Amino acid sequence: MEFTASQIAAFINGKIIGDENTTITGVSPIESGEHNHLSFIAQERFADHIYNTKCSVLIVSEKLLTKDSYPVTIIAVEDAYLSFQVLMNLYMEMQGRKTGIEQGAVFHETSVVGENVYVGAFTCVSEKVKIGDGSQIYPHVYIGKNVKIGKNCILYSGVRVYDYCVIGDNCVVHSNTVIGSDGFGFQPTKDGYQKIPQLGNVVLEDNVEIGSNCSIDRGTIGSTVIGKGTKIDNLIQIAHNVKIGENNVIAAQAGIAGSTVIGDWNQIGGQVGIVGHINIGNQVKIQAQSGVNSNTKDGEILYGSPAINAGEYRRNYVHFRNFTEIVKRINNLENNSKDNPNE
C-alpha cells in the first residue's frame, strides 16, 4: 500500500498540519514507529511521541495539539483512536476478498456453492454441503457431509467441520480449529469404557468468530450452540451440548464442560474452567484461571478455583499471603494464654 497524507485525511475528515504529500507505506505502533509509516496518538501519555517518532504521518486527537507546526506531518481529528480504526477497516476492505476455486479443491457432485465464493487448494467439500455467497474457504479445509455454511464466512486453512454442523452468516473460524468432533461420552463397564454414540451437531449462529486450534464438540443428541456475535479466542474447549448465548467473549485456553448453559454478554477470562451441567447468567465476569463449579447470577464477578466473588477472593488472598505472620500471631496468643495465671 502507498497513500499520501491528503488521501488519508480525506478518508477520515482530518485536517493536515504539515506536508500533505508525505507518503506512507505501512503502519506502526507508536512505541516503535518506522520511517514512511503511519501511527496515531489518542492519549496524553503518548503525546511526547509527536516530537521523537520515526513515523512520517501521525493521526492525533485535536485536544493534544496546541502548536502550528510539528516535526512530523499531523492529521488532526476529534478522536484519533476511532479514526485510526475507521482507516484500518477501510484498508481491510480495500484488500478485497478472495474469490474463485483453486486447482486441487474437490467437491462432491451434490454440494452447492454460492456466488463469489473462494475455495482454496486441497479443500474437501463433501456430499450435500452448502456454502453461501461470498464465503472464503482457505486451502486444506475439510467440510463433512450435510454441513451448511452461511454467507460471507471465512474458514482459514486447516479448519475441520464434521458432518451435519451448521455455520451461520459472517462467521470467521481460524486455522486448525475443529468443529463437531465427538463429545467425550463413555460408559464404564467392567471390561472398559464403551463409547456413547455422538449423533448431534454444532451450530454457530451469525457473526461468531472462533480463534485457532479450538475444539467445539458435537452434541450427543441435539446441538452444541454458539450464539450470535459471540467471540472465542484460541485453544478453547467447548464440550458437547454446551449452549452459549449472544455476544460473549471467551479468552484463550478456557474450557466449558458438557451441557452447561451460558447467557449473553459474559466475559470469560483465559484458562478459566467451567464444570458441566450448570447455568451462567448474563454479564458475568470470570477472572482468568478461575474454576466455576456452580450456577451464577447475572452480573457476578468471580475469581478463584473454586470461584467465589472476586472482591472476596482478593481480600482473602491478601490474608493467605500473610498466613505465616497470622500463624505467628496465633502462637503468641496461645503463649500469652498459657502464661495467663487465670487458666
- Selected binder of its own copies within 14, 120, 134, 263 (CB under 8 A): 120
Q: Can residue 101 be called a binding residue for its own copies (CB under 8 A)?
A: no
The two beta strands, 23-24 and 172-173, are unpaired
Per-residue x/- marks for its own copies, 313-332, CB under 8 A? --xxx-xxx-xx-xx-xx--
Nearest approach, Cβ of 312 to its own copies (angstroms)?
7
Q: Can residue 300 be called a binding residue for its own copies (CB under 8 A)?
A: no
And the C-alpha cell for 103?
Answer: 486447482
- Separation between Cα atoms, residue 18 and residue 20, nearest integer Å: 6
CA distances from 108 to 64, 116, 146 (A): 59, 19, 11
Q: Can residue 66 be called a binding residue for its own copies (CB under 8 A)?
A: no
- Selected binder of its own copies within 160, 171, 226, 302 (CB under 8 A): 160
Name the E strands within 182-322. 186-189, 192-195, 201-204, 209-210, 215-217, 223-226, 231-232, 237-238, 243-244, 249-250, 255-256, 261-262, 267-268, 273-274, 279-280, 285-286, 291-292, 301-303, 308-309
Name all contacts of 108-117 with Cβ < 8 Å and 24+ positions apart: 108/145, 114/151
Q: Can residue 212 be called a binding residue for its own copies (CB under 8 A)?
A: yes
Of 209 and 300, which has the nearer Cβ to its own copies?
A: 209
- Chain mean position to CA 246: 14
255-284 residues near its own copies, rule: CB under 8 A: 255, 257, 270-271, 273, 275
Active-site position among 108, 174, 240, 319: 240
Please identify, among the stretches 17-25, 61-69, 232-240, 277-285, the one whose residues bind its own copies according to the rule CB under 8 A: 232-240
3-state DSSP call for residue 55? coil
Nearest approach, Cβ of 23 to its own copies (angstroms)?
18
- Selected binder of its own copies within 7, 21, 25, 29 (CB under 8 A): 29
Q: Can residue 239 be called a binding residue for its own copies (CB under 8 A)?
A: yes
Nearest approach, Cβ of 72 to its own copies (angstroms)?
17
C-beta separation of 206 from 224 below 8 A:
no
- Selected binder of its own copies within 228, 283, 285, 301 (CB under 8 A): 228
- Selected binder of its own copies within 20, 176, 278, 310 (CB under 8 A): 176
240 tagged catalytic? yes
- Separation between Cα atoms, residue 239 and residue 259, nearest integer Å: 7
Catalytic residues: 240
